[in-house]
Structure 1
Amino acid sequence: MPAQQRSAALAPFVATLSPYELGPGPAGLHRGLPSSTVSITIPEADALEIAWLGRPASRERFRAVVAGLHLDPAELRQEGGTRGVWLTLSPPGAAALLGVPASALAGQVADLADVAPAMAHLPERLAACRSWPHRRALVEAALIAGLARHRASTGGPGLRATLAALSGTGRVQEAARLLGCSRRHLSATVRAGLGVTPKEYQRLLRFEAARGRLVAAARAGTVSLAAVAAASGFADQAHFTREWRAMAGCAPAEWLRAEGLVPKSSIPLPPPGPTMGA
């Protein structure tokens, strides 16, 4: 199948497919933030070590990892090579491409070979590729094969309509009204499909929107935490900072510095406060 046709077939299910680089040197470290998508990380060389932030005993080693929807930050460490392929799937995409509902993966990390045995070959095959176009084509081909096996397991139009309603309003009750169902029915649908509550899903969406605005502002050199908070639906900057600490394990300014998105002196740090791990 030509590349354009592969991309079109996968578009409803794949949100992101890109190379990643954790930095120069023999080891890379990355903070994985809460997400409303299912993510797959495939290193080119050595395996990944992942631990939920604040829980050192949770550290595990994976050749390639699948992470479900989660509301807590994680720490990813990769040694022996810091590059690879990263992709994110919409919740219906997890079932359509991997054959596993997103609800079965919620709050968890697992090896790709255990979740989708037919894709167990990807790490070794990717390591042999010499260019990004070849790596992308290899991953897309594996996803297309998965779609052929599991297309009937997408969750149907009901789940997609439910997620669209939740993303289009900030209140669960309003989403239920738009869908013409009870709040209880909405909650049951979301829990069965995603493994989180409707309120938690909206919380993830708001956090991701705020993260996108924060990154865009940092790249434009116009970071204003108050403006990001207001545009993302938070009551004020303090509310935004508390929520960011709870979900990212650090303040927004600390995260921007750690990601290299702002100079170390450009945003004053807030007073120290507690952080929340997984």
Structure 2
Amino acid sequence: MPAHRRSAALAPFVAALSAYDLGPGGVHRGLPSSTISITIPEADSLEIGRLGSRERFRAVVAGLHLDPAELRQEGGTRGVWLTLSPPAAGALLGVPASALSGQVAELADVAPVLDYLPERLATCRSWPQRRALVEEALLAGLDRHERDTGGELPATLAALSALSALSGTARVQEAARRLGCSRRHLSGTVRGALGVTAKEYQRLLRFEAARGGLVAAARAGTVSLAAVAAAAGFADQAHLTREWRAMAGCTPTEWLRTEGLTGLTT
């Protein structure tokens, strides 16, 4: 299948698919996310430190999480990284996002049919080849899911509607009103689909908005934490800093420095 057709078919499910390079030392701080991530090193394995424990993975799937992780890759520091929308877990991997919430696991354990990917990716000689291999594997998963469900995706559509409503407002009650349902019904839908509460999902969205705002402002030359906080929906700069300490394990300015971004102001 041509590249543009593969990408179009996967667009509702795949938020990002890219090559990565952890750089000197092969270490990266993994931040809380409202998406499901899959990391496949080109060589060796990946060590993930989280919640006081460390584990090694040949290829790793991480569900929605509200805490940071440290990714360390010895030897080769490059690989393939992709993020999936929560409903994509069932459609592409065959497991609900709720089963992955707060977890990190071997890709082969979550989706045994994908256990060949690390070895095959290691034989690819270019990024286009790697990208095509991953996209074909995901499309095969989508085909299997559609055969198993007869093409019906009611749960997926309900989850997508709930997530869209939550991303469009800062209050769960307002999202429920827009959907024409009770807050309890919306909360149950989100918890069942994602494994996190509706408020926790909005907390992740706010954190991600701040992260994007910080990066954009730093690249523009100057970061005003107060402005980033207001744009992302935080009460004030202090609220932003507290959330970053709790969810990233550092302050926003500390994170920007570790990422090599400058232009810091308060």
In the comparison of the two structures, how many residue pairs are matched? 261
Give how far 1:267 is off: 3.2
Q: What is the rounded CA distance, in whole Å, between the counterparts of 1:150 and 1:83 in structure 2?
A: 30
Q: What is the rounded CA distance, in whole Å, between the counterparts of 2:117 and 2:221 in structure 1?
A: 39
Q: What is the rounded CA distance, in whole Å, between the counterparts of 1:23 and 1:189 in structure 2?
A: 40
* CA deviations over 1:86-124 (Å, ceiling 9, x no partner): 000001111110011100000000000000111111111
Q: Tell whether the 8 Å contact from 2:39 to 2:61 is kept in structure 1 after alignment.
A: yes
Give how far 1:32 is off: 0.4
* CA deviations over 1:181-221 (Å, ceiling 9, x no partner): 11111111001100000000000001001100101111111
The letter for the 2-side match of 1:205 is L
Q: What is the rounded CA distance, in whole Å, between the counterparts of 2:85 and 2:27 in structure 1?
A: 25
Secondary structure in 1 matching 2:33: coil
Q: What is the rounded CA distance, in whole Å, between the counterparts of 1:218 and 1:168 in structure 2?
A: 26
* Cα root mean square deviation, aligned: 1.3
Give how far 1:79 is off: 0.4
Q: What is the rounded CA distance, in whole Å, between the counterparts of 1:181 and 1:257 in structure 2?
A: 44
**Structure 1: 4+ residue segments shifted above 3 A:** 151-154
Q: What is the rounded CA distance, in whole Å, between the counterparts of 1:161 and 1:239 in structure 2?
A: 29
Pick one of 38, 41, 48 that aligns with 1:40: 38
| Partner in structure 2 of residue 50 of structure 1 | 48
| Partner in structure 1 of residue 241 of structure 2 | 241
Gaps of 5+ in 1: 271-278
Q: What is the rounded CA distance, in whole Å, between the counterparts of 1:31 and 1:203 in structure 2?
A: 19
| Partner in structure 1 of residue 78 of structure 2 | 83
Percentage of matched positions with identical amino acids: 79
Secondary structure in 2 matching 1:84: strand
The letter for the 1-side match of 2:116 is H
| Partner in structure 1 of residue 123 of structure 2 | 128
Q: What is the rounded CA distance, in whole Å, between the counterparts of 1:194 and 1:10 in structure 2?
A: 20
Q: TM-score, normalised by structure 1?
A: 0.91
Which deviates further from its counterpart, 14-23 or 178-187?
Answer: 178-187
Q: What is the rounded CA distance, in whole Å, between the counterparts of 1:176 and 1:267 in structure 2?
A: 38
The letter for the 1-side match of 2:80 is V
Give how far 1:51 is off: 1.5
| Partner in structure 2 of residue 201 of structure 1 | 201
The letter for the 1-side match of 2:199 is K
Q: What is the rounded CA distance, in whole Å, between the counterparts of 1:236 and 1:161 in structure 2?
A: 30
* CA deviations over 1:155-204 (Å, ceiling 9, x no partner): 33211111110000100000111111111111110011000000000000
Task: Determine whether 1:114 maps to 2:137.
Answer: no
Secondary structure in 2 matching 1:202: helix
Q: TM-score, normalised by structure 2?
A: 0.95
| Partner in structure 1 of residue 220 of structure 2 | 220
Q: What is the rounded CA distance, in whole Å, between the counterparts of 1:116 and 1:188 in structure 2?
A: 26
Secondary structure in 2 matching 1:30: strand
Q: How does 1:10-49 map to 2 (within 5 A)?
A: 10-24=10-24, 27-49=25-47
